[in-house]
Amino acid sequence: MDHFQEVIKQSTHHPKPPGLVLQYGTAGFRTNAKHLNHVMFRMGLMATLRSKKTQATIGVMVTASHNPEEDNGVKVIDPMGEMVTQTWECYATRLANAEEDTDLVTAVKDIIQKENIDMSQKASVFVGKDTRSSSAALSQAVLSGVTALGGLTKDYGLVTTPQLHYMVCCQNTHGKYGEPTIEGYYRKLCQAFIQLIKNASSWTDDQKQLWVDGANGIGALKLREMESHLNNKLQICVFNDGNTGKLNHQCGADFVKVQQKPPPGITVNPDQRYCSFDGDADRIVYYYTDSKGRFHLLDGDKIATLISTFLKELLTQAGLDLNMAVVQTAYANGSSTVYLEETMKLIVKCTKTGVKHLHHAAQDFDIGVYFEANGHGTVLFSKTAEEKIQQLTEDLNASDDSKKAAQLLQNTINVINQTVGDSISDMLLIEAILAIKGMTVQQWDSIYSDLPNRQLKVKVSDRRVIETIDAERRTMSPAGLQKVIDNLVKKHKQGRSFVRPSGTEDVVRVYAEAETQESADSLAHEVSLAVY
């Protein structure tokens, strides 16, 4: 039986709900899990084609990240561990929406023809899933899709999204990036962390303690697995570990960031550090309460500031001439941008929302630190940067000081997951920086003060009528909307606001910041009325 007959045969087990139209959005497909079985099968097909085309291993992750438990989704991972390229996103949408079997085969054949794919090539696809109850059956559907087109599969089972990105990259770089196993991942990250903090000013047992909200998801599970690799250098206390609570419900990074409050049910003690992961452990935010009981959030912007400050100091100490930039989106707090540009004198770039855009922009620099305000981000080191740092660690003529800095940079490279934002890896780097600098979470927070801000969601009949320009900071349509927003913004001191259609939910997002919380709240409210 040829491949196409097999596709038709297997596809009958993964029928498409007639008329259902989905789009590969900011982070792949995402909707209620009951509508996704056919999409998963088809993404298995697509990943196999992509693997044949690139002659490399491709990843497929079944997750809906911070969405509610009843949703699910899928993201396709390219050979170096990055998100699949834009052209293939269009193929994904076409495949997902093909109505009957013949249309599906036509869609597959179109891709083969357009991409000039040699179907005799071998294919290999890595598959992973989060802890959602729907994920097991959906990842089986992905595996069936791969097999239908003759591809080989490796099922990693329960993994975080960044772990699967890591495995794909390790596999395709033939172990240069690390070993493509979960154990290999823990070993690499934890050894780098232990090396980083080797000479850190000694932490008391209290300071070694970090409270982690696992969003009742995969992150909690994986932290427990990693624990033994940390040699008690960090004491991780996990709450919202999935034993009783529901995934992403009143917990997790998105809840904490958007609600600007800690997850209910835990007492946030002053002087302790807390962080929250999201449902697939690719985002992280930190927080604490002060002695007056006031909640303080350290989001992706504060994380980017901490990391870029640390790296800039090391580059100076090492005497290395490498360019560095911080990449943000329109959601970055205005204060962070001003601080990074004016005080730190760093290059700051703004891109559209969605990690793939930030990742791409960060690749233009020797060192690119990128973070979305919601805590999704990482650091990219160019090949030149990695080589120069490596050479300096081995340079017999270099001063002790610069060698020490180079060694710290080298360990930073090893602790960070360069393929994508990673809660676990980011957490280890942040913890190491705080330990090395002997810095408390309060001191970190006081680097700059956030402008009060508010994010709202507005339900509209068709969110796609809103078109944006200038990295989503302005609207182009509907006509006149931007003028209305401009006039509203003018009424608020230090006001800034923008709207954009979400790529993961059927809503328009409204963001506003201003001098006071009251002012930010009313600006957000006024703008949402203008959108509605």
Enumerate the active-site residues.
Answer: 65
β partners of residue 28: 25, 26
Pairing of the two strands 496-501 and 347-351: unpaired
For residues 280 and 372, which CB has a smaller minimum distance to Zn ion in the complex? Answer: 280
Please tell me whether residue 249 adopts helix, strand or coil conformation.
Answer: coil
Percent helix, strand and coil across the chain, each to the nearest 5: 45, 20, 35
474 by Cβ neighbours in 10 Å (0-12 / 13-18 / 19+) ranks as middle
For residues 16 and 509, which CB has a smaller minimum distance to ligand NG1 in the complex? Answer: 509
First to last CA, the chain: 54
For residues 282 and 450, which CB has a smaller minimum distance to Zn ion in the complex? Answer: 282
Element (H, E) at 338: helix 334-338
Segment contacting Zn ion (CB under 5 A): 44-52, 278-286, 399-407, 480-488? 278-286
Q: Judged by CB under 5 A, which of 280, 299, 366, 431 binds Zn ion?
A: 280
Q: How far is the CB of 369 from Zn ion (least distance, A)?
A: 19
User: CA 257 → CA 277, 300, 453, distances in Å?
Assistant: 11, 10, 11
Q: How far is the CB of 372 from ligand NG1 (least distance, A)?
A: 4
The C-alpha atoms of residue 338 and residue 47 are separated, in whole angstroms, by 42
Helices (H) and strands (E) in the chain, counts: 18, 19
Which of ligand NG1, Zn ion, none does 426 bind, CB closer than 5 to 8 A by kind?
Answer: none
For residues 65 and 333, which CB has a smaller minimum distance to Zn ion in the complex? Answer: 65
Segment contacting ligand NG1 (CB under 6 A): 181-189, 266-274, 370-378, 486-494? 370-378
Q: Judged by CB under 5 A, which of 71, 282, 372, 426 binds Zn ion?
A: 282
User: CA 23 → CA 31, 94, 96, 413, distances in Å?
Assistant: 10, 9, 8, 35
Scored b (16 or more CB within 10 A) or e, 117-128 reads: beeeeebbbbbb
Element (H, E) at 11: helix 3-11
Residue 366 touches Zn ion, criterion: CB under 5 A: no
Query: HSE-up of 226 (CA within 13 Å, CB side)?
Result: 32
For residues 356 and 492, which CB has a smaller minimum distance to ligand NG1 in the complex? Answer: 356
Site string for ligand NG1, 321-340 (x = CB under 6 A): ----------x---------
β partners of residue 62: 74, 129
Q: What is the CA radius of gyration of the chain?
A: 23
Site string for ligand NG1, 485-514 (x = CB under 6 A): -----------------xxxx---x-----
Residue 26 touches ligand NG1, criterion: CB under 6 A: yes
Is the CB of residue 127 less than 8 Å from the CB of residue 153?
yes
Segment contacting Zn ion (CB under 5 A): 63-71, 84-92, 264-272, 484-492? 63-71
Segment contacting ligand NG1 (CB under 6 A): 112-120, 220-228, 371-379, 483-491? 371-379
Which of Zn ion, ligand NG1, none does 27 bind, CB closer than 5 to 8 A by kind?
Answer: ligand NG1
The C-alpha atoms of residue 277 and residue 107 are separated, in whole angstroms, by 38
Of 286, 280, 353, nearest to 500 (Cα)? 353
Residue 278 touches Zn ion, criterion: CB under 5 A: yes
Site string for ligand NG1, 27-66 (x = CB under 6 A): x-------------------------------------x-
- Give the residue numbers of the binding site for substrate: 372-374, 500-504, 509
Residue 374 touches ligand NG1, criterion: CB under 6 A: yes
Residue 376 touches ligand NG1, criterion: CB under 6 A: yes
Which of Zn ion, ligand NG1, none does 280 bind, CB closer than 5 to 8 A by kind?
Answer: Zn ion
Segment contacting ligand NG1 (CB under 6 A): 88-96, 158-166, 167-175, 368-376? 368-376
Is the CB of residue 405 less than 8 Å from the CB of residue 314?
yes
Which residues have C-beta within 8 Å of that of residue 320, sequence separation ≥ 6? 388, 389, 392, 402, 406, 409
Residue 353 touches ligand NG1, criterion: CB under 6 A: yes
How many residues touch Zn ion under the rule CB under 5 A: the total is: 4
For residues 280 and 431, which CB has a smaller minimum distance to Zn ion in the complex? Answer: 280
For residues 359 and 509, which CB has a smaller minimum distance to ligand NG1 in the complex? Answer: 509
Structure tokens that stand for 245 in this block? 């609570």
Residue 509 backbone dihedrals phi, psi, to 5 degrees = -95, 140
Q: How far is the CB of 437 from ligand NG1 (least distance, A)?
A: 28
Q: How far is the CB of 167 from ligand NG1 (least distance, A)?
A: 20
The C-alpha atoms of residue 5 and residue 16 are separated, in whole angstroms, by 18
Site residues, Zn ion (CB under 5 A): 65, 278, 280, 282
Chain contacts with ligand NG1 (rule: CB under 6 A): 26-27, 65, 331, 353-354, 372, 374, 376, 502-505, 509
